Amino acid sequence: MAEIDLQKQIDDLRAELAIFKRHEHFFDGERLNYKSLSKSPIAIGSSHKTSIQSIPDTTDTNVVWETNDYANGVTWDSTNNRFTILTTGKYLVSSSILFSSTTADKMYQILLYKNTTEITRGAIQSSVASLFVTPSVSHILDLVIGDYVEIHSYHNSGVASNISGTKSYCYFNVIQVK
Total tally of structural domains belonging to the chain: 2
- As a whole number, mean pLDDT of residues 129-142 equals 89
Mean pLDDT of the chain: 84
If residue 116 lies in a helix (H) or strand (E), which one and from where to where?
A: none
* Domain around 13: 2-36
Tell me: do 73 and 155 sit in the same domain. yes
Taking residues 36-57, report their average pLDDT: 81
Same domain, 19 and 62: no
pLDDT number for residue 115? 97
- Asked if 120 and 103 sit in the same domain, the reply is yes
Between CA 162 and CA 170 the distance in angstroms is 12
* Residue 85 or 19, more confident: 85
Q: Are residues 88 and 148 in the same domain?
A: yes
Which CATH number fits the domain that encloses residue 151? 2.60.120.40
Residue 45, H or E segment: strand 44-48
Which tens digits make up the pLDDT trace of 74-93? 999 999 999 999 999 999 99
Q: Are residues 57 and 111 in the same domain?
A: yes
pLDDT of amino acid 56: 95
For residues 16 and 91, membership in a common domain is answered with no
